């Protein structure tokens, strides 16, 4: 393997069976074939099989942090498990250079009846650490995990957060040359997530090769220079992270929106939702600060007095960005009857680049009784080059006032 390559994935494919019965049958048949010197038909699909990963090829340089993105079911975790040696590819070859620390399923090697102390030694051995290395790192592992008072307690009594913290602490202190991370930065409390990111930044500075799978585009964009975008097991794009994220978001935005009930199927219901520009033309892609109009179609029979319409915007991670309700703005529309529309105008949509999902809810004037609710009624995409943390862009100006200025020589 070349010195400038830490991980090489060469035309790799992996298949699974949709049926447990067929999976067991094929497994027995393959073992029997191998026992008599025959090769298994790994190059083609059999009945009820599908490609979870198909013909992937890329390489990762030593010290590089490579991101892997894609929707659920795209093969990201399967790929990581093959790189870690948990699964073997059915086609192709994977080569990894150096000790691997894996955070695919944190704490997967823990024995529930053993204590945290005992599991540190066992899990460390699984990750390739000698007993001496574990002893040298033991105190740092316990401190990082923050479970000092429970180190001699069986891990079956740990909370899920303690479990995650201990698993992460062991993996990052095994002095890996290659670190495989699968969504671990999305678990645990905020303080732990921050500690994880700082540790990964530290490892990057030390030259550790990092392979990072995440649905959090903010994390990917800040940690990875290159990213692989996967969909349905296939490699859609590999290249600069910004381009990979833009392509992924544009594909998300193209997915089908909600299907509404026909007028009259509900006494009080939501019959439509549109995203419009100033000229009332439908639009789904905006830049930071654009005008937007949300138009909600309503049907009410025989009528509803002072209804509440709530529109919520959610980010890619599922966090609510904002929720707008007409009653909170002092708007009481009176008695509404029949079919009609409600417009919500926003002069400056100051959201940062990303894909956002919208929910719309119709409530009674009491604010608690639901008449209708449509989740993910539609999605919008914000494009642009603002590199700012978070979800919201605040227009701003900088001013620097000093008594004197020193020019650079």
What does the alpha-carbon distance between residue 252 and residue 238 come to, in Å, rounded to a whole number?
Answer: 17
pLDDT of 264: 46
**Which ranges in 177-224 belong to alpha helices (H)?**
190-205, 217-223
Q: Is residue 80 part of a domain?
A: yes
Statement to judge: residues 188 and 274 lie in one domain: no
Statement to judge: residues 188 and 284 lie in one domain: no
Q: In which domain, by residue range, is 93 found? A: 7-16+55-253
Burial of 70 (0-12, 13-18, 19+ CB in 10 A): buried
Q: Report the CATH number at residue 210.
A: 3.40.50.300
| Angle, vertex CA 142, rays to CA 141 and CA 148, nearest 5 | 175
| Angle, vertex CA 254, rays to CA 274 and CA 269, nearest 5 | 35
Statement to judge: residues 320 and 185 lie in one domain: no
Query: Residues 46, 47, 48, 53: what is their CA dihedral angle, to the nearest 10 degrees?
Result: 20
pLDDT of 309: 94
| Angle, vertex CA 242, rays to CA 237 and CA 243, nearest 5 | 35
Q: Is residue 351 part of a domain?
A: yes
Statement to judge: residues 241 and 322 lie in one domain: no
pTM comes to: 0.71
Q: Which of 253, 284, 314 is the last residue of a domain?
A: 253
Q: Report the CATH number at residue 338.
A: 2.70.50.60
How many domains in the chain? Answer: 2
Statement to judge: residues 74 and 202 lie in one domain: yes
pLDDT of 214: 86
Q: Is residue 35 part of a domain?
A: no
Q: Which of 228, 253, 278 is the last residue of a domain?
A: 253
Mean pLDDT in order along the chain per 10 residues (409 residues): 81 87 78 77 79 92 92 89 87 89 68 90 85 91 88 88 84 85 66 78 88 84 89 92 86 67 64 94 92 94 90 87 93 91 94 90 88 89 70 83 68
Q: Is residue 366 part of a domain?
A: yes
Q: Is residue 332 part of a domain?
A: yes
pLDDT of 162: 84
Q: Put the strands of the sheet holding 308-314 in their side by side order.
A: 285-287, 370-383, 354-363, 308-314, 320-325
What does the alpha-carbon distance between residue 227 and residue 80 come to, in Å, rounded to a whole number?
Answer: 14
Q: Which of 226, 253, 280 is the last residue of a domain?
A: 253
């Amino acid at each position: 393997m070349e010195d400038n390559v830490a991980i090489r994935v060469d035309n790799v494919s992996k298949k699974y069976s949709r049926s447990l019965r067929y999976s067991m049958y094929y497994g027995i048949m393959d073992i029997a074939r191998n026992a008599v010197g025959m090769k298994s038909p790994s190059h083609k699909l059999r009945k009820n099989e599908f490609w979870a990963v198909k013909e992937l090829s890329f390489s990762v340089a030593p010290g590089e942090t490579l991101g892997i993105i894609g929707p659920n079911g795209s093969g990201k975790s399967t790929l990581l498990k093959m790189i870690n040696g948990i699964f073997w590819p059915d086609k192709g070859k994977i080569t990894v250079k150096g000790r691997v620390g894996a955070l695919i399923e944190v704490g997967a090697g823990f024995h529930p009846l053993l204590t945290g102390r005992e599991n540190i030694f066992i899990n460390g051995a699984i990750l390739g650490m000698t007993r001496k290395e574990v002893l040298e790192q033991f105190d740092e592992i316990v401190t990082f995990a923050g479970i000092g008072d429970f180190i001699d307690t069986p891990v079956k009594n740990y909370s899920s957060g303690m479990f995650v913290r201990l698993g992460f602490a062991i993996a990052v202190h095994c002095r890996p040359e290659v670190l495989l991370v699968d969504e671990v930065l999305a678990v645990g409390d905020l303080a732990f997530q921050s500690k994880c990111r700082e540790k990964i930044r530290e490892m990057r500075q030390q030259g550790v090769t990092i392979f990072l799978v995440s649905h959090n585009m903010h994390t990917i964009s800040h940690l990875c220079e290159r990213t692989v975008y996967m969909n349905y097991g296939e490699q859609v794009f590999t290249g600069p992270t910004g381009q990979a994220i833009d392509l992924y978001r544009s594909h998300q935005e193209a997915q089908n929106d909600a299907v509404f009930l026909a007028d009259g199927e509900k006494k009080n219901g939501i019959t439509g939702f549109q995203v419009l520009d100033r000229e009332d033309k439908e639009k789904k892609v905006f830049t930071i600060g654009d005008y937007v109009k949300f138009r909600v179609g309503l049907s009410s029979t025989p009528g509803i007095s002072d209804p509440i319409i709530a529109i919520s915007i959610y980010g890619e991670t599922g966090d609510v960005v904002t929720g707008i309700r007409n009653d909170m703005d002092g708007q009481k529309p009176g008695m509404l009857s029949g079919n009609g529309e409600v417009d919500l105008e926003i002069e400056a949509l100051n959201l940062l680049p990303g894909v956002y999902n919208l929910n719309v809810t119709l409530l009674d004037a009491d604010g608690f009784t639901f008449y209708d609710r449509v989740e993910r009624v539609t999605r919008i995409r914000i494009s642009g080059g603002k590199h700012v943390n978070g979800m919201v862009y605040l227009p701003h100006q900088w001013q620097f006032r000093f008594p004197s200025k020193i020019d650079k020589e």
